[in-house]
Each structure stands twice: as structure tokens, then as C-alpha cells.
Structure 1
């Protein structure tokens, strides 16, 4: 159902309640996954053909239900159903951390292709129907031992020609900032533990089902546009993730 057809003005149900139910359905079906940022209130109200007051009433209902949350200055997001402590730390990539610590590492590019993104990724990156992203899969190793498997999805509309980059030698963030002049502002990282499937187990040289640390990341430019989504699997026995925290 398109957003334009989400409203039945002849129905006995109030319009704001119809909007709330429409958004619930988008979340339940995965069209709007956790951390998805809704369009601005003016844009969403125009898309639905309703007043901002009506839309705000619908959003308030969903915020009170815990399905949405508002972040001052950033917008309204779909709430994650898992507890996520807020960890303040510098946004850096694994390759940057390795370089800063003098760690020698190798990068094997396993896949580099333009694809139609999976539906949750398309939503998180604001990729329109029919749009494509770069899918980049890499394996990072130190001292001959694999430590991380990464799969990145990058918006191609903002990075024409990026598929020709040699990512065995070039870093993704370095390419986005250096070649395309894109200013990376923030990212949201979510950590969890997962059982390695056959593909990840083979890549990291562990047994299928063995636990690995899993990280999801959505990266935003300074103007708020999403630019990259990534899945990262970490061999916890070979790589520890440390956060440096400040009380104030």
C-alpha cells in the first residue's frame, strides 16, 4: 500500500489513527527497520495528504507506545527492540584503528558489485525503489589470521564510479571523504553476539555455530543523509573492541 492510499477519508476510523496503524504496519513488515529515520514532518504530512497537526498526533501515539523515538535536531526514528547503551567514542574505521596502532593487516575483497539493496538496507539508506547500491564484502586479517568479515552497502547515487576503486588498498571512508568530498558526520553502531553461519565460520576459520561479535552500522553525512550501512562479524578471540568513555 502506498502512503497516498494509507488514508480512507470515508472510513469511520479517525485519520490520525489510520496513520498510526499504517506506520505500525510499515514497522511490522520490515519496510521501516530499527533505526529507520522517518521523513521530516512537513514532507511526510504532504506525502500522506494530511495536516502536520494530524500527523503529529499519530506520531505522538507511536512514541508513547515505544515504536518511535524523537532525537532533537536529528528527527524521528523507529525504535530498536533491544537495549542499546549509548557509548560516546570517536567514529573511526577498523583500518584507521589498525593504522593508528601500527598493526599490519591485509584486506581481501570477496565481492564488489552494484545490486538492488535488501529491503531493510534500502529503507535505512533512503534508496528509492529501483535504486542500486555498492555491495562490498571484505575479509581483514592480521598476521595471516582472519579477524573480521565486513559487508558494506554504499549509495551509488552519491558515489558514481566507486565500484572501480581498489578496496584491497583503499579504505572506504577514505574514498568517500577524499575522492568524493563527502563529510561523514555520525554513525549508529549496534553490537550483539551471533552464532557464525557456514559462510562466516569458513571466512573466520572457526566452527559453524561458534559465537562471534556482530556489529551493524549506519553512517550519516554531516547534512544528515545516510551514506553507508554495514554488517561486521568479529572474531572475538583475535580482536577485542574497547570503548574509551568520559563521565562528562
Structure 2
């Protein structure tokens, strides 16, 4: 098991850094059912405390990536890509953090009249147009997701002519248009792949998908972007952290 240097001066907690390294190690070296090194070995390899190792393993268990078997050890349960919900991050950023090699195919970029659904989601004015960016996203050579972004055209003049300047749309928006997203509403549902989606994602027809719909807002609260993303159910996993229940007041 090879080790990488942890940055003990980083603002990112050690257990989260260690989690990313272990996820990369699992992806590159282990198969489902293989055992993870024991905690004392991980502790020595990375120079961290036993508490840090245990918190990291706890997170991997919570994400469904590994499972503990009493008296036997910790074993790989799934090699799905984990998407952490709760913050606005680009797909590209998520994959980079996980050490994935990414590329994009089947890119379509057009300006179009919005459908009624798009108009309602983005609260568009009459005759307002949107830019549609459709892509098939690959991680380590494997198609993982079909992503369609609808952007309000009036906020990104020249986008059609300039095209996507970076692999990450959000980096292009931030650097080229000084557009930063303040918040987003996201909905996730399970459904079966259409025949076309199955072909693009190279999966059997009617395979399970995790379909995400997101509306992103500018810093002043204006709805700016609608995202429709279809993720392979066999390769994608969402992780959501929830706070404790609020205590109800008695009257």
C-alpha cells in the first residue's frame, strides 16, 4: 500500500484527506470483497492517530464503500463514485478530488427557446432564451453521467461563440463572467435509463439511473441555471450529512 503526504497545515481535516487517499487506493488496487489494511497499519503509513483512522473508516462505512465484519476486518463493499451533497461543487471538481481522470464526449452547445418546464424553473421573462450545454462525462475512461446545463443566455453573452473554455463549466463561469452561485435546490430520483441514455452510458436498456435536477441561484437570489443529470446507478452514490433533530418547543 503506497502512501501520499497528508497536509497537516491544511484547513481540510486530516480524516477527510485520508478518506480521499483511501478511496483512491480502493479504486486503483482493490476489488469488491477485498480487505482493507488493518487500522494500525494505516495509522503508521499515514502518520495519523488511531482516532483519525477510525473516523475515516466510519465515513467510508457510512458511504457504503466498505463494511466491517466483527472479528474479521474491513472489506470493500462498493466502488461507486460518491457525490457529497450539501455544497455546490462541479462534477469536474468532485472527480478531481477523487483522483479520477476525466474527459467529455458528445458535447452539444446551442441557444434555444426554453420549454415550459425550463421557463418555470428559471422564472424566465417572455421571449427570454437559454443556452443548452449537453455532455457525456467520463471518469477513468468509463461513461458515468449525461449532463445537461440550461443557462440564462442574457447573463453569458458570447458564450456560444467562445464555447466551454475549461473542463469545468463553473470555472468558466467564474473566470469568464464573474458568476458565482450562492445556493441551489436539488432533487434526486431513481428511474430507468431510456434506450438513448443506455447507448450513451454503455449500459443495458432499462438500467437504474440516479436522476438529479438542480436549480442554481446567483448571489442576489436570481435563478440562473437548471441542471438535468442522469448518473449510472451502478457507479454513483450520494452522501448527505444531516444535522440532529431540532427540539420542539412545548406550549
Q: Shorter chain as normaliser: what TM range?
A: 0.5 to 0.7
Equivalents in 1 of 2:241, 2:106: separation in Å?
A: 30
Q: Quick check: 2:111–2:130 contact (8 Å CA) kept in 1?
A: yes
- Per-residue deviation, 1:162: 1.2
Alignment deviations for residues 26-53 of structure 1 (CA, whole Å, 9 cap, x no partner) = xxxxxxxxxxxxxxxxxxxxxxxxxxxx
Alignment of 1:17-28 (within 5 A): none
Match of 2:116 in 1: 119
Moved over 6 A (4+): none
Q: Quick check: 2:143–2:202 contact (8 Å CA) kept in 1?
A: yes
| Structure 2 residue 160 is the aligned partner of structure 1 residue 179 | no
- Per-residue deviation, 1:214: 0.4
Equivalents in 2 of 1:240, 1:164: separation in Å?
A: 36
Unmatched tracts of structure 2, length 5 or more: 1-83, 246-251
Equivalents in 1 of 2:239, 2:165: separation in Å?
A: 25
| Structure 2 residue 94 is the aligned partner of structure 1 residue 92 | no
Match of 1:143 in 2: 140
| Structure 2 residue 202 is the aligned partner of structure 1 residue 205 | yes
Unmatched tracts of structure 1, length 5 or more: 1-86
Deviating more after overlay: 147-156 vs 121-130: 121-130
Equivalents in 2 of 1:129, 1:105: separation in Å?
A: 38
Equivalents in 2 of 1:88, 1:239: separation in Å?
A: 12
**RMSD of equivalent CA atoms:** 2.0
Q: Quick check: 1:88–1:245 contact (8 Å CA) kept in 2?
A: no
| Structure 2 residue 228 is the aligned partner of structure 1 residue 235 | no
The 3 A distance-change label for structure 1 pair 183 and 169 is closer
Match of 2:68 in 1: none
Match of 1:216 in 2: 213
The 3 A distance-change label for structure 1 pair 225 and 191 is same
Equivalents in 2 of 1:159, 1:209: separation in Å?
A: 37
- Per-residue deviation, 1:109: 4.1
**Per the alignment, in what secondary structure is the counterpart of residue 89 of structure 1?**
coil
Select 1:131's aligned residue among 128, 132, 150.
128
The 3 A distance-change label for structure 1 pair 231 and 126 is same
- Per-residue deviation, 1:157: 0.5
Q: How many residues align?
A: 162
Equivalents in 2 of 1:246, 1:98: separation in Å?
A: 26
Equivalents in 1 of 2:165, 2:231: separation in Å?
A: 19
Match of 1:103 in 2: 100
Q: TM-score, normalised by structure 1?
A: 0.61
Match of 2:9 in 1: none
The 3 A distance-change label for structure 1 pair 101 and 165 is farther
Alignment deviations for residues 18-75 of structure 1 (CA, whole Å, 9 cap, x no partner) = xxxxxxxxxxxxxxxxxxxxxxxxxxxxxxxxxxxxxxxxxxxxxxxxxxxxxxxxxx
